[in-house]
Amino acid sequence: MVRVSVGADDANRKFLAGYPRFDGLPYLYVLDAKGKLLQAQSSGALEKGKSYDHAEMMGFLDRVRPPL
């Protein structure tokens, strides 16, 4: 897991230009070991109230994890 900060004068915008545009923060990008994008997801769909919904988050992680 890597946290990438963004801001008006943040150099990470160049790094993020290689991935789909995000529509809010926080935003999740799931990459494989070689950096290939597997999934892009707004965190809003995983939230409930002021926190994350456990079932939604676990479902998301199950959908994006590599097969065993």
| Domain ranges across the chain | 12-64
Q: What Rg, from alpha-carbon coordinates, does the chain have?
A: 13
Nearest-angstrom CA–CA distance, 30 and 36:
8
13-52 pLDDT, tens digit per residue, is: 788 888 898 888 888 998 888 888 888 988 888 999 989 9
Give the pLDDT confidence score for residue 3 in this predicted structure: 81
Torsions phi, psi of 58, nearest 5? -65, -40
pLDDT at 1 over 80: no
| 66 pLDDT above the threshold of 90 | no
**Cα angle 39, 25, 22; round to 5:** 50
d(CA 42, CA 34): 22
Q: What is the spatial distance between Cα 66 and Cα 50, in angstroms, rounded to a whole number?
A: 29
Q: Is this model's pTM higher than 0.95 or not?
A: no
